[in-house]
Amino acid sequence: MTSRPVSSHISRRRFVGGVIVGSGLLFFPRFSRAVDSLAPSRKLGVALVGLGGYSTNQLGPALRQTQHCRLTGVVTGDLAKGKKWAHDYRFSEKNIFGYETIEQIAGNPDIDVIYIVTPNSLHAGHCIAAARAGKHVICEKPMALSVAECDAMIAACKAAGVRLMIGYRLHYEPHHIELARLAHDKVFGAFMRMDGANGFLMRGTSADTGNWRANKKLAGGGPLMDMGVYVIQAACMAKVEAAPTAVTAHFGPVTRPELFSEVEESVRWEMEFSDGAKATCLATYAENLSRFRADAEGGWARLEQPAFYYDEPKLTTSKGAVHLPKVNHQAAQLDGMALELMTGQPSRAPGEMGRRDVAIIEAIYAAAKSGQRSTVQG
């Protein structure tokens, strides 16, 4: 399975119900029988796995706004919580499943897509169970803890004939799509210098399971895996989805050792691309930061703070401010993915892209630990 772009077709854009589709088709995963059989006239049923913060505050509410999919089930460890969701979102209580019974979703006609929204270390197992249930899978970022896990997830979905997509909402957000277009069309020339940062000030006093992002076993790593993946995504987008070839990196100081005993508090890294382009990047749990800038010989593009949060990003270029429609990121992503499934179009954010990013993350950790320049394994 390659992590390199196969095609660079990006110029066709069209708006469907406020959602941009048909551009950025940079990866071409295989088509499946299940995809072909989905009827475009109905809303796809989505089951959320894990009813924590992101499901409760973003994905659930977004699924009330979507035109092409709706919430029809949940996977939770808390039956009472599942019943409340069934009542609030008006789906049958028979569509409440436990983490150990994900495979029993097989044959449930209400559920077409299983969306994994659990802590990072659980993504691989939940994805493989969802594939065995014969349902398409959306998995939250980071895709998994290692390239080996990503390969197992991709293989399981391929064997089941279902699609695997990553919850990269910004691939469906107009300002980020415009950044990709500027890169692809070389409006300012090829972007050769990128600089980005993403992070937030993490609260808490210990790396316990209640604060799983600071817990190595559950998170796999620190802000690099959580917030840094957005900077990796933006830089690769600015390079028309090329992966960097090598990285250098170093961890930042630990200012709160009681919280950051297991994962890094911050990390800086530089990515080198095959054409000589470079991206300097920062991911942190020590401050609220979210910015990205790409420079080419003929001009620049900048996603103003907050570049990667849920708010509407502001895109400015050397030609001036860019005005684009405001969308709910999660609704745009869910509708975009539902349309891709229903029309048989390749996904903009397939498992192969998630795997590419995990390979980059592995190289960054190797470089930060060794102090040596590290090659990104394709």
Indicate the residue among 208 and 297 with the shorter CB distance to ligand NAD: 208
User: What minimum distance in Å lies between the beta carbon of 122 and ligand NAD?
Assistant: 6
Q: Are 160 and 103 in contact (CB under 8 A)?
A: no
Please report whether residue 172 would count as binding ligand NAD according to CB under 6 A: no
Shortest distance (Å) from residue 241 CB to ligand NAD: 19
Asked if 52 is part of the footprint of ligand NAD (rule: CB under 6 A), the reply reads yes
Minimum CB–partner distance for residue 135 and ligand NAD (Å) = 18
Catalytic residue chosen out of the listed positions 115, 135, 141, 239: 141
Q: Residue 167, interface with ligand NAD (CB under 6 A)?
A: yes
Cβ 11 to ligand NAD shortest distance, Å: 27
Active-site residue (options: 230, 239, 285, 365): 230
- Closest CB 299 distance from ligand NAD, rounded Å: 29
**CB–CB of 318/299 below 8 Å?**
yes
CB under 6 A: which stretch of 28-36, 53-61, 157-165, 251-259 binds ligand NAD?
53-61
| 314 counts as catalytic | no
Point out which residues pair with 350 in neighbouring strands.
Answer: 165
* Best CA proximity match to 334, nearest among 75, 21, 13: 21
- Nearest 5°: the CA angle 79, 84, 85 is 95
283 makes contact with ligand NAD (CB under 6 A): no
Catalytic residue check, 216: no
Residue 14, Cα to own-chain centre: how many angstroms?
22
State the binding string over 83-122 for ligand NAD (x if CB under 6 A, else -): ----------------------------------xxxx-x
Name the minimum Å distance from CB 66 to ligand NAD. Answer: 16
Query: What is the 3 state secondary structure string of the chain?
Result: CCCCCCCCCCCCCEEECCEEECCCCCCCCCCCHHHHHCCCCCCEEEEEECCCHHHHHHHHHHHHHCCCEEEEEEECCCHHHHHHHHHHHCCCHHHEECHHHHHHHCCCCCCCEEEECCCHHHHHHHHHHHHHCCCEEEECCCCCCCHHHHHHHHHHHHHHCCCEEECCHHHHCHHHHHHHHHHHCCCCCCCCEEEEEEECCCCCCCCCHHHHHHCHHHHCCCHHHHHHHHHHHHHHHHCCCCCCCEEEEEECCCCCCCCCCCCCCEEEEEEECCCCCEEEEEEECCCCEEEEEEEECCEEEEEECCCCCCCCCEEEECCEEECCCCCCHHHHHHHHHHHHHHHCCCCCCEHHHHHHHHHHHHHHHHHHHHCCCEECCC
Residue 51 touching ligand NAD (CB under 6 A): yes
Residue number of the CB closest to ligand NAD reads 52
Indicate which single residue of 28, 54, 89, 300 sits in contact with ligand NAD (rule: CB under 6 A): 54
Q: Does 140 bind ligand NAD (CB under 6 A)?
A: yes
Note whether 176 binds ligand NAD by CB under 6 A: no
Residue among 22, 50, 73, 346 that touches ligand NAD (CB under 6 A)? 50
Report the residue from 70, 169, 268, 293 that binds ligand NAD according to the rule CB under 6 A.
169
The CA distance from 121 to 140, in Å, is 11
The pattern of x and - marking residues 205 through 244 that bind ligand NAD according to CB under 6 A reads ----x--x-----x-------x------------------
According to the binding rule CB under 6 A, does residue 20 interact with ligand NAD? no
Q: What is the nearest approach in angstroms of ligand NAD to the Cβ of residue 212?
A: 5
Which CB atom, from 140 or from 340, has the smaller least distance to ligand NAD? 140
Rank residues 167 and 196 by Cβ distance to ligand NAD and give the closer one: 167
What is the binding site for ligand NAD (CB under 6 A)? Answer: 50-55, 77, 117-120, 122, 140-141, 167, 169, 209, 212, 218, 226
Active site residues: 141, 230
